[in-house]
């Protein structure tokens, strides 16, 4: 306890928080971008911490930056302390105040544009004091190092350090434009796909075969091929709408297109997937004993909005 007392009488806690962020992010520049400040201010904060400690925490060179032995030991002891103090602050604020601070939320580009952006005005009206940083990327960010509070991913995480809550079920459809269906080769049964050039998603399991399950529960594997491979679901949808070929897309992305007749599912009596039939969108957040109020309200909001099944 004496160590902690001396520590807090000599050092600015914000400098300590910056030090932890630099270690997690791996660079001074990244932390400066996160905080929207000049990189020199981050360097000064770490330098002030090193001066107060009387030892160097980082080894710096023109090519790389890493922790010194002392820095590594120090980080191992103070990281949990910084997190616990932040949690204590959040708990205290949650008792008497509406959610405040900044919520960093990440999702894929397609899911974010199609499903999240339309909800933001409502969320902002409910929680005007809460700032939002929406990170739309098809890369699975590291939630801890990137300081992400909440992620929406189209599949449960295998990372045991994350907590996962299912947001909604999804269903995939093979879809084509009416023009393509009228002008192209027949698409009466799934096996007909082998004679078509499909529009393919870049993930390996989406590129060579699709799985179909009929009403009796019988699963069949259909080989597919195609000369257009795209890494973004929004772009795949655009190509399907333009009549370039069949695509396998999620209901949350093309449900309205099918309802309005812009796209057609030629196999409505089959379930179809590229991976497994139990697919969905999941809310993931770092495993902690305390869930910050800002994250809790977003989870509750999204679960309420997605409560009705997506057709």
Q: What is the DSSP letter of 102?
A: E
Looking at 95, 112, 140, the residue that finishes a domain is 95
Do 155 and 300 belong together in one domain? Answer: yes
CATH number, domain of 130, equals 3.40.190.10
Q: How confident is the model at residue 4 (pLDDT cuts 50, 70, 90)?
A: very low
Please report the pLDDT score of residue 27 as a whole number: 85
Q: What is the pLDDT of residues 122-150, one digit of tens each?
A: 999 999 989 999 999 988 888 888 888 99
Q: Which residue, 232, 243, 260, is CA-closest to 196?
A: 243
Domain that holds residue 78: 2-95
Residue 116 scores a pLDDT above 90: yes
Name the domain count of the chain: 3
Q: What is the pLDDT of residues 144-173, one digit of tens each?
A: 888 889 999 987 665 667 888 889 999 999
Q: How far is CA 226 from the centre of its chain?
A: 28
Please report the pLDDT score of residue 160 as a whole number: 66
E-state strands within the chain: 58-60, 65-67, 101-107, 130-136, 150-153, 162-169, 172-175, 197-201, 209-213, 219-223, 225-230, 247-250, 271-273, 280-286
Looking at 54, 71, 95, the residue that finishes a domain is 95
Residue 37 lies in a domain: yes
Do 176 and 150 belong together in one domain? Answer: no
CA-to-CA separations, 215 to 93, 236, 272, 287, in angstroms, rounded:
52, 28, 12, 39
Residue 311 lies in a domain: no
Do 29 and 64 belong together in one domain? Answer: yes
Looking at 74, 95, 116, the residue that finishes a domain is 95
Strand, coil or helix: 143:
coil
Do 204 and 227 belong together in one domain? Answer: yes
């Amino acid at each position: 306890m004496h160590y902690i007392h001396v520590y807090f009488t000599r050092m600015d806690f914000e400098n300590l928080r910056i030090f932890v962020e630099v270690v997690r992010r791996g660079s001074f520049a990244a932390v400066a971008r996160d905080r929207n400040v000049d990189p020199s201010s981050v360097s000064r904060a770490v330098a002030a911490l090193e001066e107060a400690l009387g030892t160097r925490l980082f080894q710096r060179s023109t090519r790389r930056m890493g922790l010194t032995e002392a820095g590594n030991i120090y980080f191992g002891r103070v990281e949990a302390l910084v997190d616990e103090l932040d949690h204590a602050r959040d708990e205290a604020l949650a008792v008497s105040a509406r959610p405040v601070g900044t919520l960093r939320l990440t999702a894929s580009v397609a899911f974010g544009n199609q499903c999240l952006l339309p909800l933001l005005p409502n969320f902002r009206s409910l929680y005007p004091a809460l700032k939002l940083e929406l990170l739309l990327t098809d890369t699975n960010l590291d939630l801890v190092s990137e300081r992400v509070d909440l992620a929406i991913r189209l599949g449960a995480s295998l990372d045991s350090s994350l907590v996962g809550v299912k947001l909604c079920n999804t269903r995939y459809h093979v879809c084509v434009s009416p023009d393509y269906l009228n002008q192209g080769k027949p698409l009466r049964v799934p096996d007909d796909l082998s004679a078509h050039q499909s529009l393919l998603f870049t993930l390996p399991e989406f590129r060579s075969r699709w799985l179909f399950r009929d009403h009796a529960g019988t699963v069949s594997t259909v080989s597919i091929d195609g000369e257009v491979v795209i890494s973004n679901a929004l772009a795949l949808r655009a190509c399907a709408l333009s009549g370039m070929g069949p695509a396998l897309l999620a209901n949350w992305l093309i449900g309205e297109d099918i309802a309005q007749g812009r796209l057609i599912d030629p196999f409505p009596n089959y379930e179809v997937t590229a991976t497994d039939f139990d697919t969905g969108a999941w809310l993931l957040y770092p495993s902690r004993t305390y869930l910050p109020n800002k994250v809790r309200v977003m989870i509750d909001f999204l679960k309420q909005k997605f409560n009705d099944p997506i057709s």
